[in-house]
Structure 1
Amino acid sequence: MQSVDLAKAFRLLNHGPTTLITSAHADQRNIMAAAWVCALDFNPAKVTVVIDRNTYTRELMEAEGTFAINLPCVQQIEMVKQVGAISGRDLPGTDKFAEYGIATFAAHKISAPLVEGCEGWLECKIIPEPHNQNTYDLFIAEVVAAHADERVFSDGRWHFDGHDELRTVHHIAGGVFFATGQSC
């Protein structure tokens, strides 16, 4: 894992990958799949993410003021489907990480865990915008740290050729996903 210059953090999201949003507050943590995540600004680096008001992830995000965006790869597609199909509230006495054997490691600047095996990670601090959050479920956040797997992201760009198993995934609809394609 290498650090990514925050001015280039938007490049981790430009190709529209499905993401895993992780959140934590006090001794609770959660993970969910999310497709509506977008780069917003360069300096400071900002992102937007739509998180439904009924999700456990959102509850923890709002309580802590931070969250992480993890970019899963083809090898993790079953895990993406699993964490996207059930709420953390529906797993009494455990959490999705424990339930599905999801390995994590500590973020550098926030409390939410980062998911091992992903290809990119953005650590985010929420910029409070109550109107957008309550009306549109839209969160704006500043990226406070960004990282990527140097095997597929270096010099500020993705290069998946030769690493098919590490390609990021894209949710199309109805549980159908595609892997990032070949470069042209």
Structure 2
Amino acid sequence: MNDDAYRQKQMEAYPLNKLARLLEPGPLVLVTTGHQDNSNIMTMGFHMMVQHDPPLIAFVMGPWDFSHKALVETGTCVIAIPGADLMEKAVDIGNCSGAETDKFKRFNLDPLDAEIVGAPLIKQCLANIECRVVDTQLSEKYNLFVVEAVRAWVNRSRKEQRIFHHKGDGTFSLDGRTIDMKARMTKWKEITA
């Protein structure tokens, strides 16, 4: 059987408009913004690490998001990583708008003052990353922002430490067992320390 026939028999064509479902790189996160004495939380799945040092993160946030105006005007946000026990709340947070809802109150989440930025941390999350916008070159065209992490916090005392990933179609995968391959990472020793 030639390659073409094999591919057609074994592989199924996949719609390009659903490609994010195959490549979604990181955990579902909650993004907080603070603007004019109002704090908001939004759910986000489109984000990625850009580089390690300084730590840069890129994400998509557009004018359809209530948090967009606050991000543009303040240039700061917090990326909070919820544990698996917050999965339902994270989905529900994404199903309502901060224009009509105080999401901290509605979802019984506790805001904590950040050290550097004006957006709040979320007490119940596994980690909180304080961020400043450092690059908006692609914001107008693609709604892509690049932020620099300026302070990070983790809560190792939480019982639930697993994170979860949105698969782009309303389903989620849950982190499970961790496999240690540090010894094999001979070219990248600096990141395994």
Show the counterpart of 1:63. Answer: 73
Deviation at 1:113, TM superposition (A): 0.7
Deviation at 1:175, TM superposition (A): 2.2
Is 1:113 aligned to residue 120 of structure 2?
Answer: yes
Q: Are the equivalent residues in 2 in contact too, given 1:81–1:175 (CA < 8 A)? A: no
Is 1:47 aligned to residue 57 of structure 2?
Answer: yes
Show the counterpart of 2:20. Answer: none
The one-character-per-residue Cα deviations of 1:41-93 (angstroms, maximum 9, x if unpaired) are: 122211111112211111111111100100001111111011111111133xx
Deviation at 1:106, TM superposition (A): 1.0
Residue 84 of structure 1, aligned match among 73, 94, 117: 94
User: Where does the alignment leave 5 or more consecutive residues of structure 2 unmatched?
Assistant: 1-24, 180-193
Tell me the SS of whatever aligns to 2:141: helix
User: Where does the alignment leave 5 or more consecutive residues of structure 1 unmatched?
Assistant: 1-14, 153-162
Tell me the SS of whatever aligns to 1:89: coil
Kindly report structure 1 stretches of 4+ aligned residues shifted beyond 2 Å. Answer: 149-152
Show the counterpart of 1:97. Answer: 104
Give me the whole-angstrom Cα distance separating, in 2, the residues matched to 1:103 and 1:178.
26
Q: Are the equivalent residues in 2 in contact too, given 1:31–1:83 (CA < 8 A)? A: yes
**Further displaced range: 105-114 or 142-151:** 142-151
Please identify the structure whose Cα radius of gyration is greater: 2
% identity of equivalent residues = 27
**Further displaced range: 37-46 or 64-73:** 37-46
Give me the whole-angstrom Cα distance separating, in 1, the residues matched to 2:132 and 2:57.
10
Q: Larger relative CO (CA 8 A, sep 6+): 1 or 2?
A: 1
The one-character-per-residue Cα deviations of 1:94-137 (angstroms, maximum 9, x if unpaired) are: x11122221121111111111112111111000142x4111111
Q: Scaled by the length of structure 2, what TM-score is found?
A: 0.75
Tell me the SS of whatever aligns to 1:166: coil
Residue 17 of structure 1, aligned match among 27, 39, 43: 27
Give me the whole-angstrom Cα distance separating, in 2, the residues matched to 1:37 and 1:122.
13
Corresponding letter in the other structure for 1:40 = V
RMSD: 1.6
Deviation at 1:28, TM superposition (A): 1.3
Q: Scaled by the length of structure 1, what TM-score is found?
A: 0.78
Corresponding letter in the other structure for 1:70 = A
Deviation at 1:174, TM superposition (A): 2.9
Is 1:35 aligned to residue 41 of structure 2?
Answer: no
Is 1:182 aligned to residue 155 of structure 2?
Answer: no
Q: Are the equivalent residues in 2 in contact too, given 1:29–1:60 (CA < 8 A)? A: no
